[in-house]
Structure 1
């Protein structure tokens, strides 16, 4: 369950109304039965809150992340380096408009609005494609942005 406070989302333990401990993730409350939509929604909540280590708990150790302008990020170590330094985003939030799921895969359409480390504001539509393993961990993620490139 989530609540908002001044535009910030706070996760609560299911049914308790109490905030989750700092080391807990919304993923802790989601089992594989909830499927990929639950996992990917947790991903966006955690990345927007800059909870990198909790967000990384959603990924398989050998996960691969592909996005325009970067070499593939292979494994949690590269993901950690990306989110803790390489990523050009200073802060922002993802608004999910559509999640399409099938088996252990999910396609997401949404909009990201935020501030880049350069100081520029950004508002861009995106699509993400996630694959999960049998344990419900993300094994692959591919991101595409709706911006002119060719």
Structure 2
């Protein structure tokens, strides 16, 4: 699978809330770092996060740019959606990925908000 396509597919699957498909795009020992949450380790924790913990009820990622090579990738863009409490959401984001055996083994998300 082309690395660009893998990142695009991951974001589309998340937007569609297709959690079964999400599990096929990552390695069993996937690691996900996301601001405000403990590091997620493994497919079970990743799927639990998306099913039960993530504050987003619905939304869409819009990629502005995507760069990949054989081992890693980086993208940035925006996300627009609705929270589980019904609040509108809009956020600029950037993601870094590490690839292994045509799947994602690591992801780190960054959000464009004041933090320090």
**TM-score normalized by the length of structure 1:** 0.75
Return the offset for 1:48.
0.4
| 1:70 aligns with one of 37, 41, 44 | 37
Task: Flag structure 2 segments of 5+ consecutive residues without an equivalent.
Answer: none
**Does residue 107 in structure 1 map to residue 61 in structure 2?**
no
**TM-score normalized by the length of structure 2:** 0.97
Q: Distance in 2 between matches of 1:54 and 1:102?
A: 23
Measured against aligned partners, the alpha-carbon deviations of 1:31-62 in whole angstroms (never above 9, x if no partner) come to 3xx2x211000001111011011012100000
Aligned alpha-carbon RMSD (Å): 0.8
Number of residues of Structure 1 aligned to a counterpart in Structure 2: 116
Larger relative contact order (CA 8 Å, sep ≥ 6): 2
| Structure showing the higher strand proportion among its residues | 2
**Does residue 140 in structure 1 map to residue 95 in structure 2?**
no
TM superposition outliers: structure 1 runs of 4+ over 2 Å: none
Task: Flag structure 1 segments of 5+ consecutive residues without an equivalent.
Answer: 1-30
Q: Distance in 2 between matches of 1:112 and 1:60?
A: 24
Q: Rg bigger for which structure?
A: 1
